[in-house]
Amino acid sequence: MEPILQADSIGKTFRDRRVLTSACVSAAPGEVVGLLGRTGEGKSTLVRICAGQSRSDSGWVKYKGEICDPPRLSSMASGGVYYLPESGSLARSLTLQGHFDLLRERFRLGPVDELIDDFDLRGLLAASTAAMSTGERRRAEMALVFIGSPSACWRTSCFAISIPLRQKGWDEFWESWRRMAAR
């Protein structure tokens, strides 16, 4: 199957330290791809480059068969990419309801009540994201990904995600990712 996201020959040097030499990653629709490696080996850097948050020294990134030169998250997001960085993706100036409203308005999405209940976020809708705990913010970010229903999602440090309260464990959690990826 044709990969929806593809990066090849990515090289990156921070001053005199070469982090990536010729890194490759690709993901087909419906696939969950994980990058495993020791600390400092450039996993997050590769994802940041693919999501347009950092410039590579060499190589290319393709989304839906087209080379993104340079990759820009705002352009890729219009075509269906969602990026969740380790540092968080919620705006401090908005309430959680504000996030949902903007996402729904932008991508003309339907009602989101069911997912809000699935992630047990109803009590947090009026709260500013700055007043949420880290776990609550992670849950909210996950809900935004599911509600946005993107074609592809880049995520750094996926184990920093807390499991939604109504899901029983990792198996169900990964199953829900697979279901989303298969959409």
Partner 1 sequence: MRHPAKTHWRRLWPGRVIGLRAVFAAALLWILLHVVLFAGSGQIAPASSFKVLLLISAIGSIAGIADLKRNRESIFLQNLGVAPLVVPAIWVGVMMLLELITAVVIR
Residues that bind partner 1 (CB under 8 A): 52, 72-75, 77-80, 82-83, 85, 88-94, 98-99, 102-103, 105-109, 144, 148-151, 183
- On whether the CB atoms of residues 125 and 163 are closer than 8 A, the answer is no
Report residue 129 as tokens.
């994201």
Between the alpha carbon of residue 157 and those of residues 77, 84, 118, the distances in Å are: 20, 9, 23
Coil vs helix vs strand at 89: coil
| Residue placing its CB nearer to partner 1 in the complex, 11 or 115 | 115
Question: Nearest approach, Cβ of 18 to partner 1 (angstroms)?
Answer: 27
State how far the Cα of 124 lies from the Cα of 148, in Å rounded to an integer: 18
Coil vs helix vs strand at 69: coil
Question: Nearest approach, Cβ of 154 to partner 1 (angstroms)?
Answer: 10
| Residue placing its CB nearer to partner 1 in the complex, 38 or 92 | 92
| Residue placing its CB nearer to partner 1 in the complex, 16 or 87 | 87
Question: Nearest approach, Cβ of 100 to partner 1 (angstroms)?
Answer: 12
Which DSSP letter does residue 94 get?
Answer: S
Which residues lie below 8 Å from residue 70, measured CB to CB, with a gap of 6+? 52, 55
Question: Nearest approach, Cβ of 181 to partner 1 (angstroms)?
Answer: 13
| Residue placing its CB nearer to partner 1 in the complex, 21 or 151 | 151
